[in-house]
Structure formats: structure tokens, C-alpha cells
Amino acid sequence: MALRPQFSLIHSEFNEFLFAAVGEEENGATLTVLSALTRLGIDPWGEAARLSELPKDAAARILAAAIVMLPEGEWKVSDTPAIATRLVDRLPSRGTAAMPPAGRETGRNGKTSPVSAKWLLWVALAAALLLAVSNLYDHHGAKPAPNAISSVQR
């Protein structure tokens, strides 16, 4: 049985985004968007489709919040907005997603999946963390203790 086009790696319109490098991990390996989203338990193709439907600044904020939840590699938490903006620029133009945005599927009863509410909560928490860390860098010029960030992410 052949894969549907939106799941085909050869023809996916999201390949440029999904296989782009987030950065280098501590072990020297390149972390791609595909790997990062998978590690966070997020469907990479569904998320790429969802992000491509959003305005670029909103998509970048959501992606930055996801990157913050990853263990730091060569990048720092303060680098995540720039990384996310660079990656979102690789998404196809608005309105060209190959599949419906994640979390908007309807079940047999016609109700929207609760996945979207749970995802929104996690994104809001990650965004709040990103803003708090960003404000700490901006206002105090001090670097937070490594244990403070890692204990919040757990």
C-alpha cells in the first residue's frame, strides 16, 4: 500500500522545514526539526501543516516555545526566537498545507479533538517560560542557573 502524498518524504512540501537544522547537540549530532518535534511527542508533518497556516510571527513564537522544551545544544534559550524565525521561513506559504492543521480533526460524534486544547496549554506554558528567561537576560544581564531552567522544563 502506497503512502498518501502528504506522508511521502520524497514529495512532501514540508521537507525543507522538517529536515532543517535546529542546531548541533552536545554530542555533535545535528538536531533537525523532524527529530525535535518527534522527541516532544508532536507529529512533525501535522505540526508543519499547522504552522504553515499561521502568520509567520505566530508560527515562530510557537516553534520557539517548543525548542525551549528541548535540552540545550550549541544554542542557548536566548537564541530560540532567531532559530525559530529562520526555520519558519522554510515553511511553504500560508494556505498551501497538504493536510488539515493538527488537533482539528473531528471524531464520529463531530466534536473537535481535545488534542488541540492540551497542545495549546503546553505551548502557553513554554511561551511563558521563554518570556521569563528572556526578561531575565534583558533586565539583569545575568545568566540563570542551569538547574533553574532544567528543573522548570521537567
- Report CA 78 to chain centroid distance, whole Å: 16
Q: What is the pLDDT of residue 101?
A: 45
Q: What is the pLDDT of residue 62?
A: 95
Q: Taking the chain, what is the end-to-end CA distance rounded to the nearest angstrom?
A: 40
Q: What is the pLDDT of residue 31?
A: 93
Domain residue ranges of the chain, discontinuous segments joined by +:
12-101+113-153
Cβ-contact 84, 130 below 8 angstroms? no
Angle at 95 (CA atoms; ends 47, 7), nearest 5 degrees: 45
The pLDDT averaged over each successive group of 10 residues in the chain (154 residues) is 57 87 90 93 92 93 92 85 95 58 45 54 64 62 53 49
Alpha-carbon distance values, 33 to 40, 86, 108, 142 (Å): 11, 12, 32, 29
Total Cβ atoms within 10 A of residue 141: 7
